[in-house]
C-alpha cells in the first residue's frame, strides 16, 4: 500500500496518519499528496458548498492532546503535525544543537525573538491573546509578532500545544479555536528533553530525511531537503 493512499474520515483516522507517517502538514504544500487537506473526506473540510464542514479544524486540539505530538509551523511556514517519536530529531537539527540561551549568546537569535521566547517559556501554556498582551503586541504597540512566533516555531523553540475555544455565558464554545503556545520542553516533557540533543544535528537531519524519503517515495529529493533545511538555525 502506498503510504499516501489513505482517507481521513474521522478524528481517529487523522491520529493514525500522524502516528504512521511521523510528519503530516495540515495544508497542501510543495510535496503533492502530503497534507491533511488532500486526504480529508468530503464534508470534513470547509469549502463554499453546503456539504463543507469544519471538522478537520476542530480535530487539531484533540489530536495534539491524544497523541502528545508537536504542532506548529515547521515546513514552509505552514502548520505540521510531528509525532512525539520524531520531533526531537527535527528540533535538534533545526536548532543546530543549541538551546535558546546559547543561541542568543552566540549572536544567532534576534532580541525580539529572545523576549518572545522568554514570555512563552515563563507563561506556558499561554493563549495567543495573552501572549500578545504581555509582549505589548496589541494595536498601537510593537510590530512583528507573527514573524517572530513563526520563526520560533520553525526553529522548534515554540509549539502550539492546544487550541482553546471561547465560550458564551452559557458555557457553549464558539468561533475559532485560539492557539495556545508552549515550549517543546514544557509541552512534551522528559521524552523530549532527554532526547533532543542525544545525536549530532547532522545525524538527526539524515534520520528525518531518510524517514521522509521512505514514506514519500515520489517526492523530489531536492524539494524535500529544501523543506527540511528551510528556517534552520544553520541552513
Per-residue pLDDT of the chain (235 residues; tens, 9 = 90+): 578 999 999 999 999 999 999 999 999 999 999 999 999 998 999 865 666 688 999 999 999 999 999 999 999 999 999 999 999 999 999 999 999 999 999 999 999 999 999 999 999 999 999 999 999 998 888 999 999 999 999 999 999 999 998 887 877 877 778 999 999 999 999 999 999 999 999 999 999 999 999 999 989 999 999 999 999 998 6
Looking at residue 139, what is its pLDDT?
Answer: 84
Nine-digit cell string for 31: 510535496
Alpha carbon distances (Å) from 144 to 132, 194, 233: 11, 33, 19
List, as own/partner pairs, every contact residues 171-179 make where C-beta atoms lie below 8 angstroms and the sequence separation is at least 24, other chains included: 176/57, 177/57, 177/58, 177/60, 177/61, 178/127, 178/128, 178/129, 179/127, 179/128
Q: Measure the CA–CA gap between 151 and 147, rounded to whole angstroms.
A: 6
Looking at residue 167, what is its pLDDT?
Answer: 81
Nine-digit cell string for 194: 532527554
Point out which residues pair with 23 in neighbouring strands: 82
Alpha carbon distances (Å) from 18 to 83, 87, 118, 128, 173: 6, 12, 29, 25, 26
List, as own/partner pairs, every contact residues 98-102 make where C-beta atoms lie below 8 angstroms and the sequence separation is at least 24, other chains included: 98/233, 100/157
Looking at residue 53, what is its pLDDT?
Answer: 80
Cis peptide before 125 (omega within 30 of 0): yes
Looking at residue 1, what is its pLDDT?
Answer: 52
Q: Which of 40, 31, 97 is nearest to 63 (CA)?
A: 40
Looking at residue 104, what is its pLDDT?
Answer: 97
Q: Measure the CA–CA gap between 212 and 207, rounded to whole angstroms.
A: 9
User: What element of type H or E holds 164?
Assistant: strand 159-167
Q: Measure the CA–CA gap between 100 and 201, rounded to whole angstroms.
A: 15
Reported in sequence order, the residue ranges of 44-99 that DSSP labels E, i.e. its strands, are 70-75, 78-82
Looking at residue 80, what is its pLDDT?
Answer: 98
Looking at residue 51, what is its pLDDT?
Answer: 60
Amino acid at each position: 500500500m502506498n503510504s499516501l493512499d489513505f482517507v481521513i474520515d474521522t478524528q481517529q483516522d487523522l491520529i493514525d496518519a500522524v502516528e504512521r507517517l511521523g510528519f503530516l502538514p495540515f495544508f497542501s504544500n510543495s510535496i503533492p499528496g502530503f497534507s491533511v487537506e488532500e486526504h480529508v473526506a468530503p464534508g470534513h473540510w470547509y469549502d463554499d458548498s453546503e456539504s463543507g464542514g469544519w471538522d478537520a479544524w476542530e480535530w487539531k486540539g484533540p489530536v495534539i492532546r491524544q497523541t502528545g505530538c508537536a504542532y506548529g509551523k515547521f515546513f514552509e511556514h505552514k502548520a505540521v503535525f510531528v509525532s512525539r517519536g520524531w520531533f526531537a530529531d527535527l528540533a535538534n537539527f533545526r536548532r543546530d544543537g543549541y538551546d535558546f540561551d546559547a543561541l542568543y549568546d552566540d549572536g544567532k537569535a534576534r532580541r525580539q525573538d529572545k523576549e518572545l521566547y522568554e514570555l512563552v517559556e515563563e507563561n506556558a501554556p499561554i493563549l495567543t491573546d495573552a501572549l500578545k498582551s504581555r509582549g505589548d503586541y496589541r494595536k498601537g504597540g510593537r510590530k512583528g509578532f507573527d514573524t517572530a512566533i513563526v520563526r520560533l516555531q520553525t526553529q522548534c523553540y515554540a509549539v502550539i500545544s492546544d487550541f482553546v475555544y471561547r465560550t458564551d455565558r452559557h458555557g457553549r464554545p464558539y468561533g475559532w479555536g485560539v492557539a495556545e503556545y508552549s515550549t517543546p520542553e514544557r509541552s512534551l516533557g522528559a521524552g523530549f528533553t532527554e532526547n533532543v540533543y542525544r545525536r549530532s544535528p547532522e545525524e538527526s537531519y539524515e534520520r528525518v530525511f531518510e524517514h521522509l524519503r521512505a514514506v514519500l517515495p515520489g517526492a523530489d529529493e531536492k524539494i524535500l531537503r529544501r523543506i527540511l533545511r528551510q528556517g534552520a538555525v544553520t541552513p
